A = this chain, B = another copy of it.
């Protein structure tokens, strides 16, 4: 199979760099093909701006979504963005690897999402009717492929627990897993997270590396997070509220968007 690993750490001689090498090596050992987009090494441009839309008139107002739609349709997105889209369409699986900074991805990786996830490619796809609200959340141009986060965090694992002060790790990553990856269609695997990485030494590395290797070995067999598909009947259209009879009625937050029944049946 084919895997694209998008890597966002400024220092190759970092734990992130070492884990990336571990992941790539294990994937290749399994017979897979791997491409790496190393955003810092490639000098990736982080911010969406006028330079992204060369055909936009000098005095024309920049409306990012409209400009993105027009450029995607006309094939006039910039070379760097088109290259990433090509890689995404090549890959059976996408891995985003990054250090968690301020509870989400570094700016350079957010800029990769902002620029590469074009209108007509990752959003604004499909028809709207009384039975569908476009192709998103489980459908879309990237449906049938897998995605997974590989994250390092400076804090203690306990602080990211269900009752930990930072908030549960799965909820902190929901805007990425559900909002960025599931949205254009990916089946999203549970994230790989390494905690307290500022205190790592040689003896701490190998168990984490082995845990990552195992996740690479099961990349195409592990169960995805059972997010509910938008157009499969669980949501009312056009309000897109979860049907009142579904989900724990006392639950708050993101948890109701998981189909617990599906996951219980699988276990």
Interface positions of A (Cβ within 8 A of B): 10-11, 13-14, 40, 46-50, 61-65, 99, 101-108, 110-111, 113-114, 117, 137, 154, 156, 158-159, 161-168, 171-172, 174-175, 178-180, 183, 198, 230, 235, 238-242, 247, 250-257
Q: Report whether B65 and A198 are in contact in the complex, using a CB–CB cutoff of 8 Å.
A: yes
Can you give 17 contacting A-B residue pairs, CB < 8 Å?
A46-B111, A48-B106, A48-B107, A65-B198, A102-B110, A102-B179, A104-B179, A107-B111, A110-B110, A137-B165, A156-B239, A161-B241, A167-B175, A167-B178, A168-B253, A171-B174, A175-B175
A251 to B167, CA, bound (A): 12
Residues of B within 8 Å of A253, CB to CB, are: 167-168, 171, 251-255
Name the CB-closest residue of B to A45: B46
Residues of B within 8 Å of A156, CB to CB, are: 238-240
Q: How far is the CB of A180 from chain B (nearest CB, A)?
A: 5
Residues of B within 8 Å of A178, CB to CB, are: 167
Q: Report whether A11 and B46 are in contact in the complex, using a CB–CB cutoff of 8 Å.
A: no
A235 to B251, CA, bound (A): 22
Select one of B11, B137, B162, B242 contacting A252, CB under 8 A. B162
A14 to B46, CA, bound (A): 21
Q: How far is the CB of A244 from chain B (nearest CB, A)?
A: 8
A20 to B252, CA, bound (A): 33
Quick one: given A47-B108, A114-B101, are A242 and B175 in contact (CB under 8 Å)? Answer: no
Residues of B within 8 Å of A62, CB to CB, are: 10-11, 14
Q: Report whether A172 and B179 are in contact in the complex, using a CB–CB cutoff of 8 Å.
A: yes
Residues of B within 8 Å of A158, CB to CB, are: 238-241
A102 to B180, CA, bound (A): 6
Residues of B within 8 Å of A167, CB to CB, are: 174-175, 178-179, 253-254, 257
**Extra inter-chain contacts (18) besides given A47-B107, A108-B111, A111-B111, CB under 8 Å:** A10-B47, A14-B61, A46-B108, A103-B179, A104-B175, A105-B110, A106-B114, A107-B111, A161-B239, A165-B257, A166-B179, A167-B175, A171-B171, A171-B253, A250-B251, A251-B253, A252-B253, A253-B254
A11 to B251, CA, bound (A): 40
Q: How far is the CB of A44 from chain B (nearest CB, A)?
A: 8
Residues of B within 8 Å of A61, CB to CB, are: 11, 13-14
Name the CB-closest residue of B to A66: B198
Name the CB-closest residue of B to A244: B163
Quick one: given A238-B156, A253-B252, A257-B167, are A172 and B175 in contact (CB under 8 Å)? Answer: yes
